[in-house]
A and B are shown apart, each in its own frame.
Chain A
Amino acid sequence: MDNRFDIAVIGGGVVGLAILRRFAMTGLTCVLLEKGADILSGASKGNSALLHTGFDAPAKSLELQCMQAGYREYIDIRQKLNLPLHETGALVVAWTQEELAALDGIVEKAHTNDVSNVKRLTQTELRVREPQISKLALGAVLVPGEHVIDAWSAPLAYGQQAIAHGAVILRNAEVTSVERVNSQWRIASMAGEVTAGTIINAAGLFGDYVEALAHEPSFTIKPRKGQFVVFDKPAAKLARSIILPVPNERTKGVVLFRTIFGNLAIGPTAEETDERTNPATDSATLAKLKSRAIEIVPALTDIDVTAVYAGLRPATHHKDYIIEAHKDKNWITVAGIRSTGLTGSLGIAQHVAKLYAKHFNKLPKKPPEPIWTPVPNLAEQSIRPYMKGGEIICHCEWVTRGEIEAACQGSLPAGDLGGLKRRTRAMMGRCQGFYCGAEITTMFEKVKHGTS
């Protein structure tokens, strides 16, 4: 491998991968260094997988700008990359008189943010749209543009498209030091040394640590944990829309949402934590989430919990995204990208490319023809591989042996078991591996150690 690049992106989350894709598609040589054994090992692996309109984002913020640009690009490219979109719409539901009084303000704010199709629904209209919602719901705001997507297929597709354009993704490649020598960055990592003209720090939960390798960071990451509870598939038909709470001074509250895989989930909580890896769930909070879901949709009482998980948002003291170019040393910081990062990532990538062109180097005049690298479909409402036959190994999610083998091959194969699960859904259904766990873990170990 030639180890000299125009761009080095540190961090293989959705933001880093979208940035890598953007630069690789302009024709620059790019490398991405990811600390984990696979991409999406940090904040990006545990979120709510929603595509946001920005209706409730702070007006005129960089976050809103990136979200709306990202939303448009996602819609624009998704068919070419085979990325799913479940057009659910969202309802901001009022449960008290006080919340009901706040609804008009929400509509007004949405209109200020150029989300003009947002409108009020009466209690009756809400009932018609969501017959299973608790009778205690008083009214709602309808946000038709909020949708459900797949938080894992999208960044995987961005990474694979970047690779098709010549980018290199290094995993198990924690950056240990950086040094500016002769207008180049010399980067030492656990996977060896690379040299790059510009560094983009998209290290998410470790953004401040990476920043400190080069200079005094202007921010500290204060991880915020979110726990989630996922209900079994029969739950999905109990709610058509994403059910959002009315935000108040203290909290944004928990959301009840469909997943692209045909489940219904509730979360996230917002808990300050010192954990930066493998966040823990706790039984009491999970139980509270489950009962909150039942309060919103009483028919959930009879439905089993399929999965629980916790994610971390790389929050900072600063409310908005922190995206800035360090003009004197070809370094761009991309930090404090919280829950909206999945929606915002493509827009963030556009913004970062503009900063690069403005402050550092012109982008190549003639970008190469785009190469499209569609990902396998995991979404419930589209054609899935099992429909064409093959041997089903995961019986809850109907994952075939062929899908699992394919996820272990290709330009960006699964780096660990979690990565395999995210690429295929295997072992993520109601039995959580009771039936297929032994077969799949053994298969994966064999592939990883080259004995198959």
Chain B
Amino acid sequence: MEHHDIVIIGGGPAGLTLALELNALGIKDVVVLEREQEAGGIPRHCGHLGFGIDNKNRFLTGPKFATKLRELTNGLDIRTGTTVLEFTLRGTMRLHSGSGISEMSARRIVLATGTRESSRAARLIGGNRLPGVMNTGTFQQLVYLKHQKPFSNPVIVGSEWVSFSNLLTCRHAKIKPVCMITESTNLNAPSYFSLGARLAFGVSVKRSTKLLSINGHIKVESVDVESGGQKQTIACDGVIISGKFRSENGLYSSGVIEQENTAPLTTDTYRTSKPNIYAVGNVLGHLETAGACMLHGRKLATIIASELR
């Protein structure tokens, strides 16, 4: 069985930076396992600006940022197309790669599996099951990686930073959103975003508005919403379900470590309830920028390095 000092699960901003920094600190036996065919994480499909190495000079698009990260980590042991299926009872990892199943062990394991938006199903949003209803993540991939236009006039659900980023993706694909709706009375993003949405994109944000159902026969035709006891039907041909991020917990959800709201419970030194397992980046449940995740990766590297000395 392959054994390493440190195995990092997830090759996004946090995981890659951790590997890079450990290497700089002289710790060489480090492997990054990335299940996608390309490392870089979520920024790979965030085609809009706002990304910067170490959170500085945030003038890069996500894909450029991801490319830069990959360049910086060139030469490190990063294995793409490799999935950790589960932790075995012996504490090793069961891996899948192109050639089949194998097992790997490590002195220290770092969870850097990131985060995803909660789905329509998890939010118990009713109505018909139709194409054209998707999370921001899928929408971005369709537009920026697949060059598709899945709808023309969607409703955007949510008022977080990521919700507003959809306006940029829509503009890129010549899509005109009908409106944004949010259950909260206040935005979960700076309040001037709402003004910007209206002035720069011509899209209004309807607050205290709950999505009741998504309707249509073979494609989305409308959504029913409720606001202040009043029900209203809004015509649209797609729905973007944004935000409400959940830790990508598939690997540890069956109870390897203690967790709270799908995020691993950690100490301020990124330790989980299992002494040799750490967690870093957006898997911890507070959604942060890619640059901020890099900084956490650096911090954990110094912690691990000092422990190893």
- With a cutoff of 8 Å between Cβ atoms, the chain A residues found around residue B248 in the complex are 431
Taking the complex as formed, is A442 at the interface, i.e. its CB lies under 8 A from any CB of chain B? yes
The answer to whether B127 touches A438, judged by C-beta atoms less than 8 angstroms apart, is no
Taking the complex as formed, is A123 at the interface, i.e. its CB lies under 8 A from any CB of chain B? no
Within 414-452 of A, Cβ neighbours of B (below 8 Å) are at 417, 429-435, 437-439, 441-442
- With a cutoff of 8 Å between Cβ atoms, the chain B residues found around residue A388 in the complex are 100
Taking the complex as formed, is A308 at the interface, i.e. its CB lies under 8 A from any CB of chain B? yes
Residue from A237, A386, A396, A441 having most chain B Cβ neighbours under 10 A: A441
- With a cutoff of 8 Å between Cβ atoms, the chain A residues found around residue B222 in the complex are none
Cross-chain contact of B137 among A229, A282, A434 (Cβ < 8 A)? A434
The answer to whether A438 touches B116, judged by C-beta atoms less than 8 angstroms apart, is no
If A304-B262, A398-B96 touch, does A437 touch B83 (CB 8 Å cutoff)?
Answer: no
Taking the complex as formed, is A93 at the interface, i.e. its CB lies under 8 A from any CB of chain B? no
The answer to whether B138 touches A434, judged by C-beta atoms less than 8 angstroms apart, is yes
The answer to whether B119 touches A438, judged by C-beta atoms less than 8 angstroms apart, is no
Nearest to A442 among chain B residues (CB) is: B146
Of the four ranges (under 10, 10 to 19, 20 to 34, 35 or more), the interface on chain A belongs to 35 or more
- With a cutoff of 8 Å between Cβ atoms, the chain B residues found around residue A277 in the complex are 217
Taking the complex as formed, is B101 at the interface, i.e. its CB lies under 8 A from any CB of chain A? yes
Cross-chain contact of A437 among B101, B126, B141, B215 (Cβ < 8 A)? B141
If A308-B121, A308-B124 touch, does A437 touch B138 (CB 8 Å cutoff)?
Answer: yes
Residue-wise, chain B 294-307 has the 8 Å CB interface mask toward A (1 for contact) of 00000000000000
The answer to whether B217 touches A281, judged by C-beta atoms less than 8 angstroms apart, is no
Taking the complex as formed, is A391 at the interface, i.e. its CB lies under 8 A from any CB of chain B? yes
The answer to whether A438 touches B253, judged by C-beta atoms less than 8 angstroms apart, is no
Instruction: Tell me which of A83-91, A114-122, A143-151, A283-291 binds B.
Output: A283-291
Taking the complex as formed, is A57 at the interface, i.e. its CB lies under 8 A from any CB of chain B? no
The answer to whether A432 touches B121, judged by C-beta atoms less than 8 angstroms apart, is yes
The answer to whether B121 touches A306, judged by C-beta atoms less than 8 angstroms apart, is yes
The answer to whether B253 touches A391, judged by C-beta atoms less than 8 angstroms apart, is no
A432 and B262 CA atoms in complex are apart in Å by: 16
A86 and B246 CA atoms in complex are apart in Å by: 31
Cross-chain contact of B119 among A390, A395, A432 (Cβ < 8 A)? A432
Nearest Cβ in chain B — how far from A40, in angstroms? 14
Taking the complex as formed, is A52 at the interface, i.e. its CB lies under 8 A from any CB of chain B? no
The answer to whether B97 touches A389, judged by C-beta atoms less than 8 angstroms apart, is yes
If A304-B246, A438-B145 touch, does A233 touch B96 (CB 8 Å cutoff)?
Answer: no
- With a cutoff of 8 Å between Cβ atoms, the chain A residues found around residue B137 in the complex are 434-435
Taking the complex as formed, is A55 at the interface, i.e. its CB lies under 8 A from any CB of chain B? no
Cross-chain contact of A431 among B83, B116, B131 (Cβ < 8 A)? B116
- With a cutoff of 8 Å between Cβ atoms, the chain B residues found around residue A244 in the complex are none
Nearest to A304 among chain B residues (CB) is: B122
Taking the complex as formed, is A375 at the interface, i.e. its CB lies under 8 A from any CB of chain B? no
Residue from A229, A237, A304, A306 having most chain B Cβ neighbours under 10 A: A304
Residue from B83, B117, B129, B146 having most chain A Cβ neighbours under 10 A: B129
The answer to whether B250 touches A396, judged by C-beta atoms less than 8 angstroms apart, is yes
Residue-wise, chain A 270-306 has the 8 Å CB interface mask toward B (1 for contact) of 0000000111111111110010000000000000111
Cross-chain contact of A398 among B37, B85, B148, B255 (Cβ < 8 A)? B85
A284 and B212 CA atoms in complex are apart in Å by: 9
- With a cutoff of 8 Å between Cβ atoms, the chain A residues found around residue B120 in the complex are 432
Within 301-328 of A, Cβ neighbours of B (below 8 Å) are at 304-310
Taking the complex as formed, is A99 at the interface, i.e. its CB lies under 8 A from any CB of chain B? no
- With a cutoff of 8 Å between Cβ atoms, the chain B residues found around residue A164 in the complex are none
A277 and B217 CA atoms in complex are apart in Å by: 8
Taking the complex as formed, is B64 at the interface, i.e. its CB lies under 8 A from any CB of chain A? no
The answer to whether B253 touches A437, judged by C-beta atoms less than 8 angstroms apart, is no
Taking the complex as formed, is A56 at the interface, i.e. its CB lies under 8 A from any CB of chain B? no
The answer to whether B212 touches A283, judged by C-beta atoms less than 8 angstroms apart, is yes
If A433-B138, A442-B148 touch, does A392 touch B125 (CB 8 Å cutoff)?
Answer: no
Nearest to B134 among chain A residues (CB) is: A437
Nearest to A281 among chain B residues (CB) is: B126
Nearest to B261 among chain A residues (CB) is: A302
Taking the complex as formed, is A73 at the interface, i.e. its CB lies under 8 A from any CB of chain B? no
The answer to whether B83 touches A392, judged by C-beta atoms less than 8 angstroms apart, is yes
Nearest to B85 among chain A residues (CB) is: A398
- With a cutoff of 8 Å between Cβ atoms, the chain B residues found around residue A304 in the complex are 118, 122, 246, 253, 262
The answer to whether B119 touches A434, judged by C-beta atoms less than 8 angstroms apart, is yes
Taking the complex as formed, is A387 at the interface, i.e. its CB lies under 8 A from any CB of chain B? yes
If A232-B253, A280-B213, A437-B134 touch, does A398 touch B100 (CB 8 Å cutoff)?
Answer: no
Taking the complex as formed, is A234 at the interface, i.e. its CB lies under 8 A from any CB of chain B? yes
- With a cutoff of 8 Å between Cβ atoms, the chain B residues found around residue A284 in the complex are 126
The answer to whether B100 touches A389, judged by C-beta atoms less than 8 angstroms apart, is yes
The answer to whether A389 touches B134, judged by C-beta atoms less than 8 angstroms apart, is no
A68 and B253 CA atoms in complex are apart in Å by: 39
Residue-wise, chain B 147-163 has the 8 Å CB interface mask toward A (1 for contact) of 01000000000000000
The answer to whether B121 touches A305, judged by C-beta atoms less than 8 angstroms apart, is yes
Residue-wise, chain A 229-250 has the 8 Å CB interface mask toward B (1 for contact) of 1101110010000000000000
Nearest Cβ in chain A — how far from B207, in angstroms? 19
A279 and B130 CA atoms in complex are apart in Å by: 11
Taking the complex as formed, is B91 at the interface, i.e. its CB lies under 8 A from any CB of chain A? no
A208 and B237 CA atoms in complex are apart in Å by: 33
A307 and B130 CA atoms in complex are apart in Å by: 14
Enumerate 26 A-B pairs (CB-CB under 8 Å) in ascending A order: A229-B124, A233-B250, A237-B254, A279-B128, A280-B127, A280-B215, A283-B213, A284-B126, A304-B246, A304-B253, A305-B121, A308-B121, A309-B129, A391-B98, A392-B81, A392-B96, A395-B250, A432-B120, A432-B121, A433-B138, A435-B116, A437-B134, A437-B135, A437-B142, A438-B145, A442-B142
* New A-B contacts (20) at CB < 8 Å, excluding given A283-B126, A283-B212, A395-B35: A229-B124, A230-B121, A234-B254, A237-B254, A278-B130, A279-B128, A282-B212, A304-B262, A305-B122, A309-B129, A310-B129, A392-B83, A392-B96, A398-B85, A431-B116, A432-B120, A433-B134, A433-B135, A434-B135, A437-B138
